Structure 1
Amino acid sequence: MLDAIRRAFGAGTTPPVRVTGAGALPSIYPVSDLAAASVAAAGLALAELVEARFGRPQAVSSCVTVDRRLAAFWFARSLHPLGWDLPPLWDPVAGDYRAADGWIRLHTNAPHHRDAALAVLGTAPEREAVAAVVARWAANDLETAVVAAGGCAAAMRSAEAWSRHPQGRAVAQEPLVVWETGETGLDGLAAARADRPLAGLHVLDLTRVLAGPVATRFLAGCGATVLRLDPPSWDEPGVLPETTLGKTCARLDLKQPARRARFEALLATADVLVHGYRADALARLGFDAAARARLRPGLIDVSLDAYGWTGPWRGRRGFDSLVQMSCGIAEAGMAGAGADRPVPLPVQALDHATGTLMAAAVLHGLTRRLATGRGSTARLSLARTAALLA
């Protein structure tokens, strides 16, 4: 798995990685292997950047160690509260529901997503009431209706059905990482130190739940200065304690012209942009890839999408748990466990793996910029990461 990831980054032969720890998370899928491989990929990318920046010839081959057990647990939670409780992760309405012909998952953590689903169902925000109405719908029909209303839902499909679905076929043709070379610009690593290899690097974070914040948390841990920008109304209390570690957080409404000018100024001084907007969303605000490159030549521009960058679902709203339903993971888990309801992965592994690989993409981009003076763009998706588990 690590070799496949390295090939996607255009990296050379995989150096030896020391793997410690034992055991595996309970799943029919190699979730712990995915955790270890993605962390190893990011670790190797960091070591290679240190080698390129400071000329340490043994950096790659001698210093990368992955604790497989810890990597898997890190995919579940990276902190344990002492004397306080984490807020609930899920909205009361969110979850799996039995439809007339199968199962569907509603993702309602964001108020506007919950409102969209409830408007389609025409019911109160109570699980029993929602379940009663969902039971009268065909799963695919309800998925289509909720998505059309601006909500988030996914009918449960088998892996075989996903392979025949137009979006499944599109994702199967996409590389794990879509790379493009950018413009010439400054490398942004003048203040870097071997023990803080990203010191002085300015990262602009436009991501939310959950993969993007995992990526920028990794970069902050390596010394980067990360500024996270959220819309004024956005709130995700269930994950904020973990996803904002090491970052400065602010709110900015990019739909307001005066605020867009402020964003332009921030982007012009950034070294890295990490964003999780749906395809073309930034373009509609006047910040397409060409505009971003003009504002900051040499920018490392890394972006995330749920269902891939091509196909009919390009730009569809999605989250880890929904992609698991769509691509066959939850159905295979149910069949493997002999259960009577969807069985997802034991952790949100698509989010965490994709986020860790996004961090690796930033690091590879920085190494390339040191060598060529040019920036780069990298695009990843939850659905394509899911294919690593097949």
Structure 2
Amino acid sequence: MAVRSHTDSLWRSLGLLPEALAHLHLSERPDPAVNSSFKLGTVAQSSIGLSALAAAHFHQLRTGALQTVHVDARHAVIEFKSEAYYALQGRSNNDNALFEPLAGLYATNNDGHVRIHTNFPHHKQGILNILGCEPSRESVAKALLQWDAVEFETEASSQKAVATALRSFAEWDTHPQAKVLIDTPPVVLIRVGDAPKREAKADAARPLQGIRVLDLTRVLAGPVCGRTLAAHGADVLWITSPSLPALPLLDIDTSRGKRTTQLDLNATKDREQLSYLIRDSDVFLQAYRPAGLANKGFGVEDVARARPGIVYASLTAYGWDGPWKERRGFDSLVQTATGFNVAEAEGYAAFTGAEFEPPRPLPMQALDHAAGYLLAFGIQAALCKTITEGGSWEVRVSLAAVAQWVRSLGRVDPQIAFGEGRPLPPRSMEDEELSRMVVEVPVISAQCEPQKAMKAIRHSAVLSATPVQEGEAPMRLDSHPPQWLPRV
């Protein structure tokens, strides 16, 4: 029962029918599903399971059909690193780094450390401008030794670069942002407007059939959410900016099942096109910093007014209040800032018997993936409410609140965590374990002709009546026009 208590609690916290929980089947001993002192098996199967159960429940409200949902914890933690496990034209993604070479943790003065994120070119240049050094790890390491970790973190934020100081749990707990987040749940659902009840459609073959989703997110958490909604039948239109570079090693995996297009929201014509799309949408998913879209006329009040009954879903790094609410952040940095790197190292040191182990990241971008699935859970819970109650709804998820939830689940004894917990498999589709989880995904070529060219990790959630579908992988961020498909 203890394994299920937190999952059941999250379901009930969003006001969903508790009877539905009987149809969710999870691994009885989810940890250690991977070699970590944190309960990542629990995190993965719970967040994925809640998302899938919410899809099944929405389908039940529309059709009356009941079904069960099964999630295996080991499969779920591997899916939490899906961006590393795909192959194109038979070649596995094992020769490519998912992080730009300069990214990572560096020593600063007074025995401090700071982690920098440089995957986007403008973030990389921002770091180099502050340090005034050459773009090499050696030069960056030397320059950072002249900085205090917190002072560099603050300067990077002021220059719109992305970096964070390494903190322990104890140090994070005294931070003003941590205090603001106390008692903030990982998923928040807020009614933001009135609208008639959604009409249930009795002939929906898939849970989200006919649901239109605008996905205005980048990197992992938001795109994982959009990919999950697409897997349950939604028409997901992934909108990115033509002025931002692509991150193909990540985008390829998270584009599965979506259509992709580009709009420049600094251009009047493209803002008008987005406004047109909003009028016929059901979900507006965005990961801009608080007020970022409101300044362009697409805040939650604007969108709810333009499309009553919409679900407006927002993702941020550190939440909606506090001194860091506008701060940029990615999973690896939030892990570093909130104490996970230090705590994981301490757990590993307890296992090895060493006096000290260097800061140790979690074995995957667990905060990003958990946030993505919890965001999908919240969106589908809100869609359920549009049937049962009506109204327009906002869903809020932040990486820092998800980190707080992960921490609240407790730890795995280090001897069990690192003695029994298996590492993630190698990045090769020839691996025996991976081969049991692989699915073929049609790829849209430059001529927009589907071809069997991609292998990827299939979704770990198994729905008994409406199996998850993969769809096609667009491969590019501009593969489709900015328009909706006809509703089926």
Distance in 1 separating the partners of 2:64 and 2:333: 44
Structure 1 residues 90 and 255, CA gap change in structure 2 (3 angstroms): same
Aligned residues: 385
Establish whether residue 180 from structure 1 lines up as the match of residue 190 from structure 2.
yes
Are 1:323 and 2:334 counterparts?
Answer: yes
Alignment of 1:161-176 (within 5 A): 161-176=171-186
Unmatched 5+ stretches in structure 1: none
Partner SS state of residue 128, structure 2: helix
Q: Which amino acid aligns with 2:281?
A: A
Contact 1:205 1:227 in 2 (8 A): yes
In structure 1, what is the Cα distance between the partners aligned to 2:264 and 2:136? 32
Query: Residues 91 and 191 of structure 1: is their aligned pair in 2 closer, same or farther, counting only changes over 3 Å?
Result: farther
Who is 1:257 aligned against? 268
**Which one is further off, 338-347 or 363-372?**
338-347
**Alpha-carbon displacement from aligned partner over 1:342-380 (angstroms, at most 9, x marks no partner):** 211111110001100111111111111011222211111
Q: Deviations over 1:317-366 (max 9, x none)?
A: 00000000111001111222235422111111100011001111111111
Tell me which amino acid in the other structure corresponds to 2:170: E
In the alignment, the residues of structure 1 paired with residue 200 and residue 273 of structure 2 have an alpha-carbon distance, to the nearest angstrom, of 24
Instruction: From 292, 301, 324, give the equivalent of 1:290.
Output: 301
In the superposition, relative to structure 1, how do residues 167 and 327 fare at CA in structure 2: closer, same or farther (>3 Å)? same
Write the deviation string for residues 137-196 of structure 1: whole angstroms up to 9, x where unpaired.
1100111111111100010111111111000111113232222213315738648624x1
The yes-or-no answer on 1:140 pairing with 2:145 is no
Question: Which of 87, 96, 102 is residue 81 of structure 1 equivalent to?
Answer: 87
Match of 1:312 among 313, 323, 331: 323
- Aligned 1:124-163 pairs, distance under 5 A: 124-163=134-173
| Aligned 8 A contact 1:107 1:152 in 2 | yes
1:276 maps to which of 258, 272, 287 = 287
Q: What TM-score, normalized to structure 2? A: 0.76
Give me the TM-score of the superposition, normalised by structure 1.
Answer: 0.94
- CA pair 207-198 structure 1, distance change in 2 beyond 3 A: same
Identity across matched positions, percent: 38
Between the aligned partners of 1:336 and 1:99, the Cα distance in structure 2 is 23
Counterpart CA distance in 1 for 2:201 and 2:8 is: 31
Q: Which has the higher contact order (CA 8 A, sep 6+)?
A: 2
Q: CA deviation at 1:227?
A: 0.4
The aligned counterpart of 1:18 is 25
Residues 93 and 126, structure 1, Cα contact 8 Å, conserved in 2: yes
2:474 alignment partner in structure 1: none
Give secondary structure in 2 for the equivalent of 1:233: coil
Out of 13, 38, 42, the position equivalent to 1:8 is: 13
- Which one has the largest radius of gyration? 2
User: Do the aligned partners of 1:267 and 1:296 also contact (CA within 8 Å) in 2?
Assistant: yes
Instruction: Give the 3 Å change call, closer, same or farther, for CA 199–192 of structure 1 in structure 2.
Output: farther
Question: Helix, strand or coil for the counterpart of 1:104?
Answer: strand
Does the 8 A contact of 1:189 with 1:198 survive in 2?
A: no
In structure 1, C-alpha distance between the alignment counterparts of 2:282 and 2:196, rounded to whole Å: 9
* Cα deviations by residue, 1:34-77 (Å, 9 ceiling, x for unpaired): 00111111122112112211123x43xxx111111101110012
Tell me, yes or no, if the aligned pair for 1:32 and 1:69 is still in contact at 8 Å: yes
Shift of 1:9: 2.0
Q: In the TM superposition, what are the counterparts of 1:1-390 in structure 2 within 5 Å?
A: 1-13=6-18, 14-15=21-22, 17-20=24-27, 23-56=32-65, 58-59=66-67, 63-77=68-82, 79-82=85-88, 83-86=90-93, 87-101=96-110, 102-181=112-191, 182-184=193-195, 187=198, 190=201, 193-194=204-205, 196-234=206-244, 235-338=246-349, 339-390=356-407
- Note the C-alpha offset of 1:4: 3.2
Residues of 1 paired with 2:199 and 2:220: CA distance? Answer: 26
Question: C-alpha distance in 2, partners of 1:185/1:156?
Answer: 48
For the residues of structure 1 that align with 2:332 and 2:211, how far apart are their CA atoms? 33
CA distance in 2, matches of 1:165, 1:371: 40
Q: 168-177 or 142-151, which moves further after superposition?
A: 168-177
Distance 1:245 1:136, change over 3 A: same
- What is the distance in 2 between the residues matched to 1:112 and 1:8? 40
Q: Is the 8 A contact 1:192 1:199 kept in 2?
A: no
| Maintained 8 Å contact 2:217/2:223 | yes
> Between Structure 1 and Structure 2, which shows a larger proportion of helix residues?
1
Distance in 2 of aligned mates of 1:266 and 1:256: 16
* SS in structure 1 of the partner of residue 293 of structure 2: helix
Supply the RMSD in Å over aligned alpha carbons: 1.8
How far apart are the structure 1 equivalents of 2:159 and 2:300?
A: 28
* Structure 2: unaligned runs, 5 residues or longer: 1-5, 350-355, 408-488
User: Contact 2:189–2:382 at 8 Å: present in 1 too?
Assistant: no
